[in-house]
Amino acid sequence: MDEAAASQDNGSDGIIRMIDVNKWFGEFHVLKNINLNVGAGERIVICGPSGSGKSTVIRCINRLEEHQRGRIIVDGVELTNDLKHIEQIRREVGMCFQHFNLFPHLTVLDNLCLAPQYVRKVPRAEAEETAMMYLERVQIPEQADKFPGQLSGGQQQRVAIARSLCMSPKIMLFDEPTSALDPEMIKEVLDTMIELAETGMTMLVVTHEMGFAKTVANRVIFMDGGEVIEVNEPNEFFDNPQHDRTQLFLSQILAH
The per-residue DSSP string of 19-83 comes to EEEEEEETTEEEEEEEEEEE-TT-EEEEE-STTSSHHHHHHHHTTSS--SEEEEEETTEE-SS-H
Residue from 5, 118, 211, 247 touching other proteins (CB under 8 A): that is 118
Residue from 43, 90, 219, 245 touching other proteins (CB under 8 A): that is 90
Residue from 102, 127, 162, 216 touching other proteins (CB under 8 A): that is 102
Report the DSSP beta bridge partners of residue 128.
none
Q: Which of residues 62-81 bind other proteins (CB under 8 A)?
A: 62, 64
Nearer of residues 99 and 243 to other proteins, judged by Cβ: 99
Give me the least distance between CB of 156 and other proteins, in Å please: 10
Residue from 95, 162, 189, 210 touching other proteins (CB under 8 A): that is 95
**Nearest-angstrom CA–CA distance, 174 and 161:** 9
Give me the least distance between CB of 167 and other proteins, in Å please: 6
Give me the least distance between CB of 86 and other proteins, in Å please: 9
Residue 115 is a binding residue for other proteins (CB under 8 A): yes
Residue 177 is a binding residue for other proteins (CB under 8 A): no
Nearest to 59 by CA among 33, 85, 79: 79
**Nearest-angstrom CA–CA distance, 91 and 170:** 9
Residue 54 is a binding residue for other proteins (CB under 8 A): no
Report the DSSP beta bridge partners of residue 36.
18
Dihedral, CA of residue 230, residue 232, residue 236 and residue 238, to nearest 10:
60
Q: Which residues bind other proteins (CB under 8 A)?
A: 62, 64, 83, 87, 90-91, 93-95, 97, 99, 101-105, 114-115, 118-119, 147-150, 163-164, 167
